[in-house]
Structure 1
Amino acid sequence: MQLMVNDLLLSKYNPSKLERVVWIDYQNKWCYLVNVNKPSFPYSLEVNDIIHQLETNELEKVVEDPFFISVQVKELTDAERKKRDEAWEIVQDVYLIPDILLPNKRWGLIKNTSKKFNVSGKTIYNHLTRFFARGMIKSALLPDYYRSGNQVEHQYTKKTGRPAIYSSTIKRANVDNEWKKIFRASLEKYYFIRSKPSLKYAYQQMLKDYFSIKDESTDYKVLDVANPIPSYDQFYYWYRKWYKADYIIHKREGRRKYLQNHRAITGSATDDSMGIGLFAIDGTIGDIYLVSSLDRNKVIGRPMIYLTVDIFSRVIVSVYATIENMSGDSLRLALANAFSNKKYFCNTKLDMEIGEQEWPVHYIPHTILADRGSELISDELTSLVEDLNIKIQNTGSYRPELKGVCERFIGILQSHIAPFLEGIVQKDHAKRGGQDYRKKAVLNLKEYSRILVRCALYYNNEHYLSDYPLTQHMIEAKIPPIPIKLFEWGLKSGNGLLRSMSYSQIRSNVLPISQAIVDYKGIYFKGLYYSCRTAIKERWFSNARINGSWKIEVRYDSQDMSEIYIRKNRKDYETCTLIEQYDMYKSARMEELIDLTISKRQQEVDFQESEINGQIRLAQEIEEIVNEAKKEAKLDLGEGIKNIKDIRQNRKEEQELTRQKKSVNIQVINTDVPSSSTVNSASKKIRNIDLFRQKQKEGLNNENH
């Protein structure tokens, strides 16, 4: 049994004692723990003792973290963000492993940090104990303001600030929500542009656009002094309050200069990766054309492949293929795949069985290496990895050798699977007489993903790294240079800082976010309808039919659209499942649903001409029947008036006439070879019916006269 950092251990004899593993020494001998219910500094126990208690069921691992919260940066108040960031700076300064865990060295670190940040030792103690108890991530330092109710900004009715000394024709007022919208719009339009104008210029343009009127005498705009006008100080205050320095530089200087000269680089790459847990991620376009999963006659183009590799062991952490373009959402799904259980992924998403020990890589790394072209440079994903306490290390220009680890797997793909596949990109296809390789495509995305997984399993378990620099300890332990063996040795020796995390936590932090619509049919997302317990209990769908639909945020996995997830609070998510009539799409992927929607719309357009022609023909046929009825009525009635007094009697007579007609028709049909008597009888009945009709008309004419 293997202990990992961040594991939660519950005592069988003391349910209130829930301990978190905060560190394991490099010899895998001592383990440091804290009681999360009584925050304190970590205490040490021998790893073997803890494993023995786990094996004897005196301790058990807890999957769900009671202190885990999921919150987006945009949802935090300024006070929450400020307190979290201040505490994070202090913790980062004092958090030196293993010194912070040793009592004889800990107080020296706290004393130095106390002087540096001018805070008390008790404050540092509170930050550290909270950090240890709540999972050692940045969100652990958030204050619990959300438990105290909503924080409402105070609205002032009287002008705040020092009264003006000198009188002016310009009126001033407090900044309200309408002014804030104008401030933001003006800053985005006139300040955050490549020409880099001054803030004063943006302020002047704002006054011209929103706080001026046209002077009829000069035909120029002048200040509208009849209404309040914001001051430059107010404009400047909200500019400083809203925008941080890195955002300003990014918007005014451009993305490239921001990344080159101003973006923060956390961590530093060294020749020795210091154990497992340093993951490199890269994305590339596959050299193959795929077909649609719904219709193999449709070629859908080349897939995007995301590869994640552990630098220390060279093990393939994950290989994720998608037909979505390179984006933040596709990278989120690739990261979720890297952090999740591979056996579960292969079984549920790819319909293939693998053993747990064939790919036992489902941990959170301490650092992610990415080049400058990666989507990890986006603000959203940078915030994501910070919340998981993962450092980003940019290696684009100064560490090209680390990129070679990812390139090696791409080379294996080309050498091992290219000869077996159809639709592989050929360089000479455009030459005279060459065949178009795209027409040979036969694999869909799921089938191609299975091939990638098989290649990853081969590489991890069978590939011999002849140039791997084995250490003295590895040689003594007779560890072969095979990626999975190196990874397992790194786990056992504690040579790294991998952390475990439940799938619910990974889902809450990593899966992409989108908008769904609640209407009277269900929760509508990507062409499908979902439902959940909360929606049924709170009668969402009835309310939507009465009051109109509304939008909600959902998390989703584009590889499995059978479920989506809505957040109940900062801690819990609720699973929404497909309603019964959409069960056929349980195994569908998002790209398949998009393709199906496009096909349905195209079919509707193709049938549009036929449908309209059918409507026109139906209208003409109805008109013909009505006109024929009018002619018959005119012949029968002449210039007379219709009798509407005896409708019931007329109805009975018509019913009797209909029965007689049916009786005659049945007798004629049931007689295979009609005799002369039968024919005469039928003819007599028909003559009687005609005579009855004639008498009926004569009676009606007499009544009308």
Structure 2
Amino acid sequence: MDTTYSPPLLAVGMLLRKHSSKTVYRVVTPEGAGKFTVLYDIGKGQHSWPEPIPTDEIQRRMDRQEPDESRLTVEVDDPWALENRPPRPNYDQSRLDRDWELIKPLVTGPNAFRIMSRKHRNGILREHARQNKTSRQTITRLLRKFWQRGLTRFSLMDDKDQCGGKDKPRVFTSAKGGRRPRNNYPGMPLTAPARHILNEAADWLLQDWKHRTYQGALLEYAKKFCVGRTALDASGRDIIIKSTDRRYQPTVRQLQHLIHRWRPLRDVKRSKLGKRRFELIGRAFEGRADQHVTCPGHVVLDATIADVYLLSSFDRISVVGRPTVYLAIDTFSRLIVGIYVGFEPPSWVAAMMLLTNVVTPKVAYCAQFGIFIAADQWPCHHMPTTLFGDKGEMMKVRAGQLLSSEFGIHIENAPSGRPDAKSIVELRFNIIQRPWGAFLPGYVDKEYDERGSRDPRQDAALTLHEFTQIMILAVLRHNAAPISNFPPIPDLVAEGGAPTPLELWSYGIASTGGMLRNDSIETVRRYVLPRDTATVTHKGIEFGKYYYLCPPARDGNWLIKGRDSTWSVEIAFDPSNLDCIYLCEEGRFEKCTKAGTNSRYVECEGASMAERNVLEERQKANLERAKDQAFKLRVIAKDVDDRIVKGGTTKSRAALKEAGLRKPQIYDMRKARDRERAAEREPLTPAEADFIAAFDDDRSSRAERHFSRNPKQRGAIQRRKTSAAQAHKQAAADAVRKSRKSKTLDILKQIRR
């Protein structure tokens, strides 16, 4: 190991510190010094002279092996450097020029070294003072300032910036200061105790500026400190202020001056705006959203409620509401790498639906909505390495940890109430909605809630499928549009590329490789889709009033076992499309499709959970309305039924009474049933019914006249009346049938005679 000591180079203006003390020297060696190096003690200021020392001795004392008592070290921080002094825009330039011209002959040329010698110094200074008609003391003061403060022309600047007690509070004892008082209200001088008490009032005001005023702070001050109470000043001494006369109270202007002069602007503004609004619109900008991003792979997520009302896909006369639009934007290129449009509110579930779309090939995704594109029009189907979102969507601990552990994704959350932290994606919502906001039916304008404005729900005309098509086209337009004011990338500019999201994405992938992962859709769905519990029944796996089947269910005879008992299984589902679910049992992730046991009347291909809920709510409303109508009909039918029963009962009782019976006869029921059946098969004509009734009345009257001659047989008339009437009716019915066969009524006439 080479331990040879190399002496440092001693440059003019260099600072050397004595290791054993705080003494600092400046190298002020002029031309002609030879083997000497001249040092000047800048700590003594106006009371020292330069001291020539042999150069080899100084270099020896700068060796690390030298004892601390004599060792010198290089000092980096110059206390008299211009950057360490406050700016002086209004200093006296003419005086600076005059002082410099006065000492310039002494610090340049042959006199520069001679004036540092004690032998020649006094004579040179006296002669120079006589020639310039000034004093020796003035020249000495300027020379020492020149050596002390850096050996430059600006070293001669005056120190007026340190005059007047700048940034120091003025303490008044008798008069209050400021403009002359008027109206016999002299005010209160801001003595040290009064300033301390007024600071208490300022603290009270700054605690809740929104609901407090300057005058309220002064009243609080008067109530708390000006009624003979004892307070403490800044030094801890007791203060007793007994005056309650308004003429000797501090004014609002004094309190305003104290706050705006001595309180930090940050604290005052934070108190006025509140913490949340200050962080949003009042804080200082200290960086850019993409200042640490050097390649694609850092994705920002955010959601908004679209400014449009949509109709139900199943019933175009029913308004569903305003959909949620989720965007995933690459920070480096501003490319929209994923989109979700649906009725799920902003949440972890909707964010994971968006993440599924991020890894979906966009050619197949657009084809689902009838839009056919080339692969290079939307060339992103990879998993990012960093996700930046809100706490509301990224705070699901279990799912977030699973996403981070399985895919190695770093999840970041924006602070609460800070949309500016995701300014890139926030601005994209406005850019995407601007083209269709003017003509889209059902669009929600900013003035929609003003009096007299038209309700946008009355103009709704699009479904979720149609609105998704519009959003896809808007994304394609955005990805191909140039970005104004984008900082130029030299390599991209040299290649002739424009700053469009597509070209920036392609450049980032080609030049840096990007920070992307290649994961399949099924793998992503396995970990990001929301989980729930389904029931296995004899009709299939029941979830959301639908039945599903999968190979494990068929092979395991789940439907047969479901006739005896049911059990629960864990499933994953896509809220935007319930055409299939995924079985998550025993480490499996099996796709389950709809079973044939579903009613064909409730099949809703491609329906989201929100649309299905709207359909069910509409069906419930229709069912309740039908129940109301059916209830009215039941009431009417019950009333008619009661009338029929009452009429039939009255007639039966009258017939039994006329026949002299207490109960209907139950013998010969077979013949009675045959007669009724025959009557049902061959209904009587009106003429035939009249004939039977007349025949019955004639036979009954003749029998009654015959039996009524004997008073003892009158009781038998009532008992035999029913059987006689039935026999007469049977004879008449038989005669009617015979007449139908012979196509004549002669037999009827004979029977009647």
Give the alignment's TM-score, normalised by structure 1.
0.53
Query: 8 Å contact 1:531–1:577 — kept in the other structure?
Result: yes
Residue 311 of structure 1 contacts residue 402 of structure 1 at CA under 8 Å; is this kept in 2? Answer: no
The one-letter code sitting in structure 2 at the alignment partner of 1:489 is Y
On the 8 A contact 1:277/1:365 being kept in 2, the answer is yes
Return the alpha-carbon distance in structure 2 between the equivalents of residues 575 and 657 of structure 1.
Answer: 60
Specify the SS of the correspondent of 1:307: strand
Match of 1:124 in 2: none
| 1:391 CA displacement | 1.0
The separation in 1 between residues aligned to 2:374 and 2:653, in whole angstroms, is 86
Structure 1 residue 697: Cα displacement: 2.8
Contact map agreement 1:283 1:304 (CA 8 A) in 2: yes
Secondary structure of residue in 2 paired with 1:416:
coil
Please list, as runs of the form range in 1=range in 2, the aligned pairs for 1:1-80 lying within 5 A after superposition.
none
Letter of the 2:340 counterpart: Y
Structure 1 match to 2:677: 655
Of residues 393, 406, 416, the one that matches 2:412 is: 393
User: What is the total number of aligned residue pairs between the two structures?
Assistant: 417
Is 1:508 equivalent to 2:530 in the alignment?
A: no
Is structure 2 residue 462 aligned with structure 1 residue 443?
yes
Correspondent of 1:376 among 360, 380, 394: 394
The answer to whether residue 303 in structure 2 is matched with residue 286 in structure 1 is: no
Q: Deviations over 1:319-349 (max 9, x none)?
A: 222222222212221211222222333333x
Moved more, 593-602 or 414-423: 414-423
Out of 417, 424, 436, the position equivalent to 1:417 is 436
The equivalent of 1:556 in structure 2 is 573
CA contact 2:576–2:607 (8 Å) conserved in 1: yes
Kindly indicate whether the alpha-carbon contact (under 8 Å) linking 1:514 and 1:553 is maintained by their aligned counterparts in 2.
yes
2:376 equivalent to 1:361: no
Q: Residue in 2 aligned with 1:597?
A: 616
The residue type equivalent to 1:435 in the other structure is R
CA RMSD of aligned residues (A): 3.6
**How far 1:685 moved relative to its partner?**
7.6
In the alignment, the residues of structure 2 paired with residue 398 and residue 625 of structure 1 have an alpha-carbon distance, to the nearest angstrom, of 73
> Which has the greater radius of gyration?
2
The 1-side partners of 2:588 and 2:451 are apart by 62
Question: For the Cα contact (< 8 Å) 1:288–1:302, is it kept in 2?
Answer: yes
Change (3 A) 1:687 1:551: same
| Residue type at the aligned position of 1:566 | L
Task: Quote the offset at 1:305 in angstroms.
Answer: 1.8
How has the CA–CA distance of structure 1 residues 686 and 321 changed in structure 2, closer, same or farther, with 3 Å as cutoff? same
1:270 Cα shift?
A: 7.0
Which of 471, 482, 488 in structure 1 is aligned with 2:500?
482
Give percent identity, aligned residues only.
Answer: 28
Aligned to 1:617: 636
Cα deviation for residue 456 of structure 1 reads 0.6
Residue 416 of structure 1 aligns with an amino acid whose one-letter code is: P
The structural deviation recorded for 1:421 is 2.1
Distance 1:701 1:436, change over 3 A: closer
Q: Partner residue of 1:307?
A: 327
The 8 Å contact of residues 460 and 483 in structure 1, kept in 2 or not, is answered as yes
Match of 1:573 in 2: 590
**Higher RCO (Cα < 8 Å, 6 or more apart):** 1
Cα offset for 1:594? 0.6
Structure 1 residue matching 2:485: 3-state secondary structure: coil
8 Å CA contact 1:511, 1:556 repeated in 2: yes
1:68 match: none
**Quick one: distance in 2 between partners of 1:563 and 1:590?**
12
Aligned to 2:553: 535
Deviation per residue, 1:618-663 (Å, 9 max, x gap) = 333333333333334334444155444433333334334444x43x
How far apart, CA to CA, are the structure 1 residues paired with 2:451 and 2:725?
Answer: 92
Matched residue type, 2:304? T
SS of residue paired to 1:576:
strand
Find the counterpart in structure 2 of residue 342 from structure 1: 362
Q: Deviations over 1:113-137 (max 9, x none)?
A: xxxxxxxxxxxxxxxxxxxxxxxxx
Deviation of 1:388 after TM superposition, in Å, equals 1.8
Matches within 5 A, 1:613-692: 613-637=632-656, 638=659, 639-659=661-681, 661-662=682-683, 664-665=684-685
Q: How does 1:180-191 map to 2 (within 5 A)?
A: none
Letter in 2 for 1:415: R
* 1:593 Cα deviation from its structure 2 partner: 0.8
Question: Quick one: distance in 2 between partners of 1:700 and 1:437?
Answer: 77
Contact 1:567 1:574 in 2 (8 A): no
Match of 1:428? 447
Report what 2:291 is aligned to: 271
Tell me how far apart the structure 2 counterparts of residues 351 and 546 of structure 1 sit (CA, whole Å). Answer: 46
8 Å CA contact 1:520, 1:541 repeated in 2 = yes
Secondary structure of 2:519's aligned partner: coil
Distance 1:654 1:374 in 2: 78
User: How far 1:309 sits from its partner (Å)?
Assistant: 0.7
Q: Closer, same or farther in 2 for the Cα pair 1:625/1:533, shift >3 Å?
A: farther
Please give the per-residue CA displacement for 1:207-228, whole angstroms capped at 9, x wherever unaligned.
xxxxxxxxxxxxxxxxxxxxxx
Counterpart check, 1:406 vs 2:425: yes
Deviations 1:220-244 (A, max 9, x none): xxxxxxxxxxxxxxxxxxxxxxxxx
Question: 1:567, CA displacement in angstroms?
Answer: 2.1
- Does the Cα contact within 8 Å between 1:578 and 1:586 map onto a contact in 2? no
CA separation in 2, counterparts of 1:589 and 1:528? 13
- Specify the code of the residue in structure 2 equivalent to 1:364: M
Q: Is the 8 A contact 1:346 1:352 kept in 2?
A: yes
Secondary structure (helix, strand or coil) at the match of 1:457 reads: helix
Contact 1:269/1:393 (<8 A) preserved: no
1:379 Cα deviation (Å)?
0.6
* Alignment-derived partner of residue 18 in structure 2: none
Change (3 A) 1:562 1:400: closer
Q: 1:363 to 1:689 in 2, by over 3 A?
A: farther
Structure 1: which 5+ residue stretches go unaligned?
A: 1-255, 257-267, 669-678
**Contact 2:432 2:478 (8 Å CA) reproduced:** no
Q: Aligned residue for 2:16?
A: none
Q: 1:396 to 1:700 in 2, by over 3 A?
A: closer
Counterparts of residues 462-501 of structure 1 (less than 5 Å): 463-493=481-511, 495-501=513-519
Secondary structure (helix, strand or coil) at the match of 2:291 reads: coil
The alpha carbon displacement at 1:511 in A equals: 1.4
CA distance in 1, matches of 2:289, 2:475: 25
* Cα offsets for 1:513-568 (capped at 9, x unmatched): 12333344443323333333443444444544433x44332211122121122124
Cα pair distance change 1:641/1:441, threshold 3 Å? closer
- What is aligned with 1:97? none
1:332 and 2:349 matched? no
Q: 1:442 to 1:654 in 2, by over 3 A?
A: closer
Verify the 8 A CA contact 1:282 1:374 in the aligned structure 2.
no
Quote how far apart the aligned CAs of 1:595 are.
0.7
Matched residue type, 1:465: I
The alignment partner of 1:633 has SS state of: helix
1:314, distance to aligned residue in structure 2 (A): 1.5
Match of 1:95 in 2: none
SS in 2 for 1:546: coil
SS of the residue aligned with 1:516? strand
> Contact conserved, 1:566 with 1:576, CA < 8 A, in 2?
no
Could you tell me which amino acid in structure 2 is paired with residue 376 of structure 1? M
1:449-460 equivalence runs, <5 A: 449-460=468-479
Asked whether the equivalents of residues 291 and 443 of structure 1 are also in contact (C-alpha less than 8 Å), the reply is yes
Contact 1:563–1:578 under 8 Å retained in 2: no
Which residue type is aligned with residue 306 of structure 1?
Answer: Y
Q: Name 1:248's counterpart in structure 2.
A: none
Q: Aligned pair in 2 of structure 1 residues 574, 480: CA closer, same or farther (>3 Å)?
A: same
